[in-house]
Amino acid sequence: MTILPVLLLACGSAPEPESAPPHDSSALEALLTLSVPESASSLLNGLLDDVRQGDCEPAVFDEVEALRESWSACAAHDGAIERYEDDALSWMEIEGLVLRDDRGDPRLWAEGAIERFVDEDSARWTRLDLAAALGGVEACGDALCDPDAEPFADPLLVDLSWTLVHDGDAQDVLVTGTVLSPTQGAWTVEGSWRQDPAVCDGAPSSGLLLLRDQQLHTLGFSDACDRCVRWSVDGEPQGLLCPEIVD
């Protein structure tokens, strides 16, 4: 279902469509996309897909009911990755990783760690943590960092934690942390929202995300299921943002 946003004018004239937000919204859209847990999972899976390509085979360490893999000294990329996974815990440590395009130019670089812990006893909640320095066009585009910067120069620093509380097919998401952008400065991130496929397939159906730099940016989700959020700055409405949110 699609709804047409309206702005009620104080003079009593007929409602008109909301005007475009007066502020540059690209950083807010990028931060919103970065703040959903699917972005961290997508980064983890994408890095694994990349390092598994080519002729580089991981060193595998068999542990009781667990898997541990390590990639290093690979021609397809610089740096190293170590990965661990069992029924309750999975983590990946990244050291000096640089992925290059067909011309040999860096397209993504990363250093840090991603960890996912599942409450094995009740399976009611999952915790996901991302602490990393990121760069390159595939990691942060040009909204939060300079995609042409040399690897590990002026990185995007991300320190985010998510708690996912499962309720059947639905889940409640809580996020806290900080993002330090070389182009947009420091931001604190705090939010909670509900994802219920019975209400909105692939999009939050209710909740808020608070992003603060010198001002407080409030992004409100709704059950319109159009992947758009209501944006206000220090309580003043700015319009709608409709970023590409990772499923």
The residue extents of the domains of the chain are: 26-51+60-241
Closest by CA position to 134, among listed 97, 178, 167, 104: 97
- pLDDT per residue rounded down to tens, the chain (247 residues): 333 333 222 334 433 434 444 466 888 999 998 999 988 888 888 887 887 776 677 787 766 677 888 888 677 778 888 988 888 888 899 999 888 878 877 888 899 999 999 887 766 899 999 999 998 877 777 888 887 788 888 899 999 999 999 998 899 999 999 999 998 999 999 999 999 988 888 788 899 999 999 899 999 998 778 778 999 999 999 888 887 664 5
pLDDT 10s digits, 91-111? 899 999 888 878 877 888 899
Closest by CA position to 85, among listed 98, 73, 69, 96: 69
Strand partners, 191: 175, 209
DSSP strand E in the chain: where?
6-7, 16-17, 59-63, 66-71, 77-85, 89-100, 106-118, 125-135, 156-167, 170-181, 185-195, 206-212, 216-221, 229-233, 236-241
pLDDT 10s digits, 7-29? 222 334 433 434 444 466 888 99
**The model scores a pTM over 0.85:** no
